[in-house]
Amino acid sequence: MTTTKLPPLLQDDPPTLADRAYLSLRDAIIEGTLAPGMKLSERGLAAMLGVSPQPVREALRRLEGEGMAETRSRSGTYVAELSVDRLLEMGRIRSALEGVAAGIAARRRTPVDIAALRARLTAVRSATASGDERRLAAANAQLHETLHAIAGNALLIRSLQAVNAYYHISTRRILVHKSEVSASLAEHTAIVEAVIAGNADEAEALMRAHTGRSVDVAAVELNR
Partner DNA sequence: CATGACAGACTGCTATCGCAGTTTGGCAGT
Partner DNA sequence: ACTGCCAAACTGCGATAGCAGTCTGTCATG
| 213 scored as a contact of a second copy (CB under 8 A) | no
Q: Which of 2, 3, 4, 73 binds a second copy (CB under 8 A)?
A: 73
Q: Which of 174, 118, 127, 169 is nearest to 147 (CA)?
A: 118
In the shown chain, the binding pattern of residues 173 to 212 toward DNA, with x for contact by CB under 7 A and - for none, equals ----------------------------------------
Q: Of the ranges 9-17, 103-111, 174-182, 216-224, which one interacts with DNA (CB under 7 A)? A: 9-17
Q: How far is the CB of 84 from a second copy (least distance, A)?
A: 13
Q: Is 81 helix (H, G, I), strand (E, B) or coil?
A: coil
Q: How far apart are CA 168 and CA 68, in angstroms?
A: 13
Q: What is the DSSP string of 9-49?
A: -S-PPPPPHHHHHHHHHHHHHHHTSS-TT-B--HHHHHHHH
E strands of 96-156, at which residues? none
Please identify, using beta-carbon distances, which residue of 4 and 11 lies nearer to a second copy.
11
Q: Is 56 helix (H, G, I), strand (E, B) or coil?
A: helix
Residues of this chain that bind a second copy (CB under 8 A): 10, 13-14, 16, 18, 58, 61-62, 64-67, 70-73, 80, 85-86, 89-90, 92-93, 96-97, 99-100, 103-104, 107-108, 151, 153-156, 158-159, 162-163, 166
